[in-house]
Amino acid sequence: MKNRIFYLLLALLALAAAVVGAAYWRANYLAGVTLINLPVPRADIPPYTLLNMEMFTISQFPRALVDEASADYALTLDDLMGQITTGTLVSGLPVPQTLAVPPADFRLADPALEVASIPVSPVNGVGGQIRVGELVNIYRLKREQEIIEGERLFEEMGDAIRVATVPVVAVLSDQGLPASTDPDEIMPMHILVVAAPPEGIDAILEAVAMSELGNELLWVTLATPSQ
């Protein structure tokens, strides 16, 4: 009788251990397969794209995908809105945060602006004393000439025409490296990089072309501050 009771107790203990073990396994298994909603592209999104809500939908993935040992993914649509892509975002897959960054971290100016470089020497560019963030005026100066019988009698400047007022986003030397305003440095300004609305960039490029190929000068001044 005692043996039967002993074996019954052993069976009950084994059953209890099995139940506890099953519950522990189930809890850990469910923790690994618990689903989380993540934004994914509806279609492949190419690099250099400004992101908006219509480009994404929500899909479910195992929560383990975003644990500390995994890559960092965008968790919500708010994490992606207004960002710009640095690589291709694949349709239906979570978005690595490294592939969607603030525009200011990826390009020189606001996405609504075109960025262009213009050749400017220190002589016609405020002596080279132009800094990133300043507003500059870009002017066209036409050179008037009078030539009689093949001989140029005189040359004078016509009216200055302002073609744009734009922010400076980079000041570079002729080698494309950051220029220096220090007179002891040998990296003077030769290139200004400016940002302008798309509808205004043509006038800037035309002024550059006429200064290079036509009978005009390109001149840059510091704009007056806003009041």
- CA–CA gap between residue 85 and residue 97 (Å, rounded): 10
Amino acid (one-letter) located at 140: R
Distance between start and end Cα atoms, the chain: 103
Strands 35-41 and 100-101: unpaired
Q: pLDDT tens across 108-131, in order?
A: 888 889 999 999 999 999 998 999
Going from N- to C-terminal start, the domains of the chain cover: 33-105, 114-222
Cα–Cα separations (whole angstroms), residue 47 to 38, 146, 183: 20, 54, 41
- CA–CA gap between residue 50 and residue 176 (Å, rounded): 27
In contact, 57 and 77? CB cutoff 8 Å: no
CATH code that applies to domain 33-105: 3.90.1210.10
- CA–CA gap between residue 8 and residue 10 (Å, rounded): 5
- CA–CA gap between residue 156 and residue 178 (Å, rounded): 35
Q: Determine whether 51 is exposed, middle or buried from the number of CB atoms within 10 Å of its CB (0-12, 13-18, 19+).
A: buried
Sequence-distant (≥ 6) Cβ neighbours of residue 192 within 8 angstroms? 117, 118, 120, 125, 130, 136, 168, 170, 171, 172, 220
Which ranges constitute the DSSP H helices of 86-169? none
For residue 117, list its beta bridge partners.
Answer: 193
Give the predicted TM-score (pTM) of the model. Answer: 0.66
Q: Which backbone phi and psi does 221 adopt, to 5 degrees?
A: -125, 160
* Residue 174 pLDDT: 86
* Residue 36 pLDDT: 86
* Residue 20 pLDDT: 56
Determine the 3-state secondary structure of 58 from DSSP: strand
Cα–Cα separations (whole angstroms), residue 161 to 144, 148, 213: 14, 27, 18
- CA–CA gap between residue 192 and residue 164 (Å, rounded): 14
Strands 35-41 and 56-62: antiparallel
Token pair of 152, please?
Answer: 């140029």
**Per-residue pLDDT in tens (0 to 9) along the chain, 227 residues:** 555 565 555 555 555 555 555 555 555 655 556 888 999 999 999 999 999 999 999 998 887 777 654 558 999 999 999 999 999 999 999 999 889 999 878 888 888 899 999 999 999 999 989 999 999 999 998 876 655 555 554 455 567 889 999 999 999 998 888 887 766 677 889 999 999 999 999 999 999 999 988 788 899 999 998 65
Cα–Cα separations (whole angstroms), residue 64 to 37, 57, 69, 97: 12, 20, 9, 17
